[in-house]
């Protein structure tokens, strides 16, 4: 079995090559009580900071996705202490300065781009903070779409910005006030409310498991959609 | 002609009429102002300190974006952006060791090679199009309109950055004349508006605004033009406080120079005039029959 040397919080371990950081830590005997969630690169719970023996740069990843490499010095950052501002989405509006009002520290950004360099999702984090600064909520929402809220950016920023909370507020405002409304959705909700599908649902809830399985297997599948 | 330009934060928020009028007016002159991709704040507040490399990153990164766009010059509208970007450019030119450090830090970007020229839109009008050409293109001369040119600090100082004489500038006067209006000279035209005191010491700014605007009125001025969103805010929006503090003060409308340009080119001001003006300029424009096309 091919193995690699990794250092978990400074202690050396030899682990099989090809494991993710998370699996390798479990192999080494660690048990994740926190700092792991989806194990699929979506929840952002497993932020990892590492440096390679022969590199001066810090690197950032999510432990459930990153494969171990020889000579990795690792530490987990499962949580970023970055309080979220409290707001009532019903009462605020997508104005030029609303992001600045709840997160005034965005005005301290010096455009060092450190946040972008620490994002495991390869998001243009600085660009969305800059967009936030100039009140461009739509752009913040678009640029931050893939954010998994791991918080690594916010642990590195010299201006103490809570990037992912800023982005979340922007996406909420965008979704509520700026994004074009989906007409077919409103139509379908109205249909549901009028009881159009009640009979069908009743039929399904009363169905035998076998019959239900058969129906499920025979369902229409859109082409090109994987499971 | 297409020119890459740098808008800056204020033009996207509190000074929309500045950007809109500039774009429309320049389009009418055959110049398309193309917005720089992925720009960030010019870094004005932090870039005012010295020996502070971190705070040079913002302006230099913008100049790298210009390089990336394959251009060698960048036009700004805001006087403060102009000053900040040009000053950072001059500073790194004079401090090659510091530039090397900055380039090393910005390892995700190509090195800044120091070849970008930062221009103010007024310079483009004066030196590239020429005020004579502007004059030829005027379809609605602003005859009889008495305009106070206001320079403030940042177009003229420090001397290496300034686009005209710091003591006796004339670029705005020349523009005003080209547009058919009458420049009104006042001793306050190059004095400071109080700048960022506006956030913490509003009364200082009100005092400055009162001095600048009253002198302008005494000299017969009807409207003041500026090239800086902060100056405009201080001289326009702070008139609310000036009226509270100084009896008998008569309000003066404040416009961006690009708004005057647009008017003279025969454009419809409804396309840019916004509610962001505190003193509504429309009655004056109406009086001079400049509101209708
Ligand atoms: S933007 Fe910040 S919180 Fe979001 S994924 Fe990137 S590093 Fe994580
Ligand atoms: S790390 Fe902070 S200061 Fe640096 S670019 Fe990102 S938001 Fe701005
Ligand atoms: S000043 Fe900034 S860059 Fe320098 S060592 Fe401290 S944190 Fe690092
Ligand atoms: S000078 Fe003002 S408007 Fe221009 S970029 Fe800087 S902060 Fe924004
Ligand atoms: S456990 Fe969810 S992203 Fe890694």
DSSP A3: E
Inter-chain contact B13–A135, Cβ cutoff 8 Å?
yes
Q: What is the mean pLDDT of chain A?
A: 95
A2: how many CB neighbours lie within 10 A of its CB?
Answer: 7
Tokens for A88, please give them: 């009532």
Residue A147 inside a domain? The answer is yes
Protein residue with least CA distance to atom 8, ligand 1? A150
Give the chain A residue whose CA is nearest to the CA of B105: A112
Let me know if residue A86 belongs to a domain. no
Cβ pair B54:A136 closer than 8 A: no
Q: What's the CA-to-centroid distance between B224 and ligand 5, angstroms?
A: 59
- Distance from the Cα of A155 to chain B's closest Cα (Å) equals 18
Residue A223 pLDDT grade (very low, low, confident, very high; cuts 50, 70, 90): confident
Query: Closest ligand to A105 CA?
Result: 2
C-beta atoms of B57 and A130 within 8 A: no
Indicate yes or no: CB of A111 within 8 angstroms of CB of B58: yes
Question: Is the Cβ atom of A23 under 6 angstroms away from ligand 5?
Answer: no
Residue among A71, A72, A33 nearest A49 (CA)? A72
Whether A61 lines ligand 5, by a CB cut-off of 6 Å, is no
Are A174 and A192 in a shared domain? no
Of B9, B11, B80, the C-alpha closest to B39 is B9
- A61-115 pLDDT tens trace: 999 999 999 999 999 999 999 999 999 999 999 999 999 999 999 999 999 999 9
Residues A138 and A168 in one domain: yes
The CATH number given to B140-287 is: 3.40.50.11810
Interface pTM, i.e. ipTM: 0.75
**Ranges of each domain in chain B:** 2-121, 140-287
**Whether residue A45 is found in the same domain as residue A106:** no
Rounded to whole angstroms, the Cα distance separating A170 from A132 reads 8
Q: How far is CA A175 from CA A145, A147, A189, B23, B124, in A?
A: 12, 16, 17, 31, 41
Same-domain status, A69 and A8: yes
CB A26, CB A71: distance < 8 Å = no
Count the domains in chain A: 3
Residue A182 zone, left/alpha/beta (φ > 0; ψ -120 to 50; rest): beta
**Cα B81 to middle of ligand 4, angstroms:** 5
Average pLDDT (B79-105) is 94
Cβ within 8 Å of residue B292, ≥6 positions away: none
Class for domain B2-121, per CATH? mainly alpha
Cα angle B238, B240, B245; round to 5:
95
Cβ–Cβ < 8 Å for B235, B226? yes
CA–CA–CA angle B18, A105, B86 (5° rounding): 45
List the domain range (segments joined by +) for residue A26: 3-76
Number of residues assigned to chain A: 227
B-chain CB neighbours of A100 within 8 Å are none
Cα(B77)–Cα(B228) distance, integer angstroms: 8
Top mutation candidate among A119, A160, A161 for ligand 1, by most atoms within 8 Å of CB: A119
- The rounded Cα B264 to chain-centroid distance in angstroms is 18
Say which DSSP state A16 is in: E
Q: How far is B140 from A92, CA to CA, in rounded Å?
A: 44
Mutate to test the interface with A, among B9, B53, B275 (most CBs of A within 10 A): B9
* Cβ within 8 Å of residue A114, ≥6 positions away: A153, A156, A157, A158
CA of A156 to the centre of ligand 2 (A): 8
Residues contacting residue B150 through CB under 8 Å, at least 6 positions apart: B172, B188, B189, B193, B212, B224, B225, B226, B231, B235
CA–CA separation, B156 and B232 (whole Å): 17
- Tell me how far the alpha carbon of residue B185 lies from the centroid of ligand 5, in angstroms: 67
The tens digit of pLDDT for each residue in A139-185 reads 999 999 999 999 999 999 999 999 999 999 999 999 999 999 999 99
Are residues A42 and A104 part of one domain? no
Which residues in chain B have Cβ-Cβ distances shorter than 8 Å to A96?
12-14
Does the distance separating the beta carbons of A127 and B13 come in below 8 Å?
no
B181 closest CA partner among B242, B138, B228 = B138
What is the percent of chain A where pLDDT is above 70?
98
Please determine, for residue A226, whether its predicted confidence score (pLDDT) is greater than 60.
no
pLDDT digits (tens, 9 = 90+) for B207-242: 999 999 999 999 999 999 999 999 999 999 999 999
3-state SS track over chain B? CEEEEECCHHHHCCCHHHHHHHHHHHHHCCCEEEECCCCCCCCHHHHCCCCCHHHHHHHHHHHHHHHHCCCCEEEECCHHHHHHHHHHHHHHHHCHHHHHHHHHHCCCCCCCCCCCEEEEHHHHHHHHHCHHHHHHHCCCCCCCCEEEECCCCCCCCCCCCCCCCCCCCCHHHHHHHHCCCEECCCCCCCCCCCCCHHHHCHHHHHHHHHHHHHHHHHCCCCEEEECCHHHHHHHHHCHHHHHHHCCCCCCCCEEEHHHHHHHHCCCCHHHCCCCCCCCCCHHHHHHCCCCCC
**Position B96 pLDDT exceeds 50:** yes
Return the CATH number at A130.
1.10.1060.10
> Is it the case that residue B92 has pLDDT exceeding 80?
yes
A227 assigned to some structural domain: no
User: Residue B72 Cα, ligand 2 centroid: separation in angstroms?
Assistant: 27
To the nearest 10 degrees (0 to 180), the angle between helices B257-264 and B171-178 is 20
Q: How confident is the model at residue B45 (pLDDT cuts 50, 70, 90)?
A: low
- Which ligand is nearest to the Cα of residue B105, counting in written order? 3
Task: Scan for tokens 């010019």, then name that residue.
Answer: B42
CA dihedral defined by A51, A55, A57, A63, rounded to 10 degrees? Answer: -30
Q: Which two tokens stand for residue B111?
A: 């090195």
- Residue pLDDT, tens place only, A132-148: 999 999 999 999 999 99
Report pTM.
0.80
Residues of B in contact with A97 (CB under 8 A): 13
**Confidence at A227, pLDDT banded by 50, 70, 90:** very low
Contacts of A109 in chain B (CB under 8 A): 40-41, 58
pLDDT band at B91 (very low <50, low <70, confident <90, very high): very high
| Among A12-16, A30-34, B269-273, the range of highest mean pLDDT | A12-16
* Chain A residues inside the 8 Å CB shell of B57: 110-113
B229 CB near a chain A CB, below 8 Å?
Answer: no
Q: Per the domain annotation, does A149 fall within a domain? A: yes
**A76, A109, A133 - which closes a domain:** A76
Q: Name every protein residue with a CB atom under 6 angstroms from any ligand 2 atom.
A: A 109-115, 125-126, 129, 157-159, 161
A37 burial type by CB count under 10 A (0-12 exposed, 13-18 middle, 19+ buried): middle
One domain for residues A169 and A191: no
Please compute the mean of the pLDDT values over residues A8-16 and round it to a whole number: 97
CA dist., res. B53 & res. B105, Å (int): 10
Q: Quick check: A18 pLDDT over 70?
A: yes
Take atom 4 of ligand 2 and give the residue whose Cα is closest: A112
Mean per-residue pLDDT for A111-127?
A: 96
């Amino acid at each position: 079995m091919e193995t690699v040397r990794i250092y978990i919080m400074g202690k050396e371990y030899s682990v099989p090559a090809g494991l993710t950081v998370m699996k390798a830590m479990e192999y080494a005997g660690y048990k994740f009580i926190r700092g792991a969630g989806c194990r699929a690169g979506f929840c952002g719970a497993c932020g990892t900071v590492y440096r390679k023996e022969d590199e001066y740069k810090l690197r950032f990843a999510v432990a459930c996705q990153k494969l171990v490499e020889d000579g990795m010095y690792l530490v987990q950052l499962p949580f970023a202490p970055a309080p979220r501002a409290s707001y009532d989405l019903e009462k605020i509006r997508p104005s030029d300065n609303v992001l600045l009002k709840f997160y005034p520290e965005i005005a301290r950004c010096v455009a060092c781009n450190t946040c972008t360099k620490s994002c495991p999702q390869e998001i243009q984090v600085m660009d969305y903070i800059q967009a936030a600064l100039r009140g461009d909520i739509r752009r913040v929402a678009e640029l931050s779409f893939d954010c998994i809220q791991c918080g690594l950016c916010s642990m590195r920023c010299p201006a103490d910005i809570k990037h992912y909370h800023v982005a979340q507020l922007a996406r909420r405002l965008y979704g509520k006030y700026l994004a074009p409304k989906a007409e077919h959705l409103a139509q379908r909700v109205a249909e549901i409310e009028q009881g159009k599908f009640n009979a069908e649902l009743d039929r399904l809830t009363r169905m035998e498991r076998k019959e239900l399985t058969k129906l499920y297997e025979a369902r229409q599948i859109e082409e090109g959609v994987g499971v | 002609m297409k020119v890459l330009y740098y808008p800056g934060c204020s033009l996207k928020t509190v000074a929309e009429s500045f950007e809109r009028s500039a774009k429309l007016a320049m389009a009418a002159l055959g110049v398309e102002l193309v917005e720089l991709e992925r720009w960030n704040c010019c870094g004005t507040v932090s870039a005012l300190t010295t020996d502070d490399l971190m705070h040079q990153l913002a302006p230099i990164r913008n100049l790298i974006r210009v390089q990336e766009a394959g251009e060698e010059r960048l036009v700004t509208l805001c006087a403060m952006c102009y000053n900040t970007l040009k000053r950072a450019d001059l500073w790194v030119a004079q401090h090659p060791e510091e530039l090397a450090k900055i380039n090393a830090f910005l390892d995700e970007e190509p090195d800044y090679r120091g070849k970008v020229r930062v221009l103010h839109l007024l310079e483009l009008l004066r030196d590239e199009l020429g005020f004579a050409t502007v004059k030829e293109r005027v379809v609605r001369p602003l005859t009889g309109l008495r305009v106070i040119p206001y320079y403030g600090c940042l177009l003229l100082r420090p001397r290496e950055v300034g686009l005209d004489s710091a003591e006796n500038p004339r670029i705005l006067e020349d523009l005003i004349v080209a547009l058919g209006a009458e420049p009104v000279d006042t001793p306050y035209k190059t004095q400071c508006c109080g700048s960022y005191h506006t956030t913490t010491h509003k009364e200082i700014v009100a005092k400055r605004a009162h001095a600048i605007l009253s002198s302008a009125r005494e000299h017969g001025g009807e409207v003041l033009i500026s090239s800086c969103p902060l100056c405009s805010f201080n001289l326009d929006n702070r008139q609310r406080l000036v009226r509270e503090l100084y009896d008998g003060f008569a309000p003066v409308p404040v416009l961006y120079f690009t708004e005057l340009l647009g008017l003279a080119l025969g454009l419809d001001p409804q396309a840019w005039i916004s509610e962001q003006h505190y003193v509504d300029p429309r009655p004056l424009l109406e009086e001079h029959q400049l509101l209708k096309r």
